[in-house]
Amino acid sequence: MADVNRGNRPLSPHLQVYRPQLNSITSILTRITGNALLVGSLMIVWWLLAAATSESYFAVANAVLTSWFGDLVMLGSLWAIWYHTLAGVRHLIWDNAKMLDLESADILSWIVVIGSVVLTIFTVIVI
């Protein structure tokens, strides 16, 4: 039931008032990457099940997994694994009550962002 005395005020002004901060963006991205990893995992499980089912079914799954779309999903999953891992390490540091001040937290956030990109590129080059 709507409050008739509310006037023309927004219901949730936080989106208009607060500027997104690096820590909040990286925290939200940690949750997104954790959920997005399900897509890559499901593709791998599908590929393995297809391999156990039949040669023709495996050919279909393998064609999808090795297509440009499959390559894109796997590359995104690789980055998401590195990002999620580094963000987890950042939270372990915070759980030990270390680097909780804003400047240190921002440094850790940049380490997570830049580190995940560097480690992804390194992994692609090495493998």
For residue 94, give the nearest of 77, 82, 83, 106 by alpha carbon.
106
User: Does the predicted TM-score (pTM) go above 0.85?
Assistant: no
Assign domain 21-126 one CATH number from 1.20.1080.10, 3.10.20.30, 1.20.1300.10, 3.90.1150.10: 1.20.1300.10
Share of the chain above pLDDT 70, in %: 87
Give residue limits of the domains in the chain.
21-126
- Runs of H (alpha helix) within 1-127: 14-17, 22-53, 55-65, 68-95, 102-126
| Residue 96 pLDDT > 60 | yes
Q: Residue range 31-55: average pLDDT?
A: 95
Between 5-9, 40-44, 68-72, the lowest mean confidence (pLDDT) is in: 5-9
Q: Which pLDDT belongs to residue 120?
A: 97
Q: Which pLDDT belongs to residue 90?
A: 96
Split at pLDDT 50, 70, 90, the class of 20 is confident
Question: Are 85 and 94 spatial neighbours (Cβ–Cβ below 8 Å)?
Answer: no
